Amino acid sequence: MRLSRTARIVLGCVTAAGLAVVYAPLLLVLLNSFNADRSFGWPPSGLTGEWWRAALHNDGARDALFTSLKAGLAATGIALVLGTMAAYAVHRHRFFGRRTVSFLLVLPIALPGIVSGIALNAAFRTVLDPFGIGFGLFTVVVGHATFCVVVVFNNVAARLRRISPSMAEASADLGARPWQTFRHVTFPAMRSALFAGALLAFALSFDEIVVTTFTAGPGTRTLPIWIYENLARPHQAPVVNVVAALLIALSVVPVAIAQRLSSDTAGGRL
C-alpha cells in the first residue's frame, strides 16, 4: 500500500504519541530511581545512586523478591506439567466431555482475579485448615498455578495443532515406542512452545496481586504486595521506585525472548 507524504507524517506522529503515552511514565520511573530529590521534584535536582544502594540492603524488598521468585518458579513448574498433560490429552485422545474439560481449563484466566481470590480463600480455609496447613507460600503457589496452567495449556495445544499428526505416525511406523516418539519427535517440536508458555506463566505469577492478596498469609509477601504496602510510606518511596525500575528492566528480557519464539514459525528449534 502506498501512502501519501502527509498521511505518513500524520500516522508517524500518532504512533509516536501512542508509544509516548505508554513508555514516558515508565521512563520517568527509571529516571526517578536516580533522582536526588526525595519527593521526586521535577526537573531532578541531581542524580544519585543512593536509592539503589538502599534498595539492595532493604531486607523487606529482598525477601519479597525471593518469595516472588519461589512462587513464580513453583507455579510455572506445576503449570508446565499439568498444562502439557492436559493439552496432550485433549489433543490426542477422544473422550467424553473433552470440549468441556478444554473449556473449564481455560476459564480461570477469564475469571476476575477478585472472584478467584475469594473462592480460593474460602476453599483453602475449609479444606486445608483441618490438615493444619495455613495460608502461606504453598497456597500462593496453588492460587497462581490455577491461571498459569492456562497459558501453558494454550501454548502447547496451539503447537500440537500445528504439528502434523503424520509426524508421530511416521515415528511409530519407523519402530519407535510411544516414549521414544515423545522424546525424539513430539517434545523437540513442542520445546519452544513450552519455553514460551513457561515465560508467560512466570510473568503472570510474578506481577499477580489480587489472587495473591487472598491466598497469602500475613507473613508471606510477594514483590507486588511489598510494593503496594510500601507505596504509601513516604520514606520508602525512593526504594519502591528502584524496585519498580528493576522490574521494568527485568521484564524486557523474557518478553523479547517470548516474542522471538512465537515468530519462529518452523517451531522446532530453540
CA distances (Å), 179 to each of 89, 183, 204, 216, in order?
15, 6, 31, 39
Among 269, 241, 145, CA closest to 198: 145
266 binds other proteins per the rule CB under 8 A: yes
- With respect to other proteins, which residue has the nearer C-beta, 50 or 173? 173
Question: Cβ 174 to other proteins, closest distance in Å?
Answer: 4
- With respect to other proteins, which residue has the nearer C-beta, 125 or 184? 184
For the chain, helix (H) and strand (E) counts, in that order, are: 12, 0
- With respect to other proteins, which residue has the nearer C-beta, 178 or 219? 178
Among residues 44, 108, 217, 267, the one that binds other proteins under rule CB under 8 A: 267
Question: Cβ 107 to other proteins, closest distance in Å?
Answer: 28
| CA–CA separation, 55 and 35 (whole Å) | 14
Question: Cβ 34 to other proteins, closest distance in Å?
Answer: 46
Footprint of other proteins on 131-190 (CB under 8 A): 164, 166-167, 169-178, 180, 184-185, 188-189
Task: Map grid coordinates 492460587 to a residue.
Answer: 143
CA distances (Å), 241 to each of 44, 185, 229, in order?
14, 47, 13
Amino acid at 257: I
- With respect to other proteins, which residue has the nearer C-beta, 100 or 166? 166
Residues that bind other proteins (CB under 8 A): 164, 166-167, 169-178, 180, 184-185, 188-189, 266-269
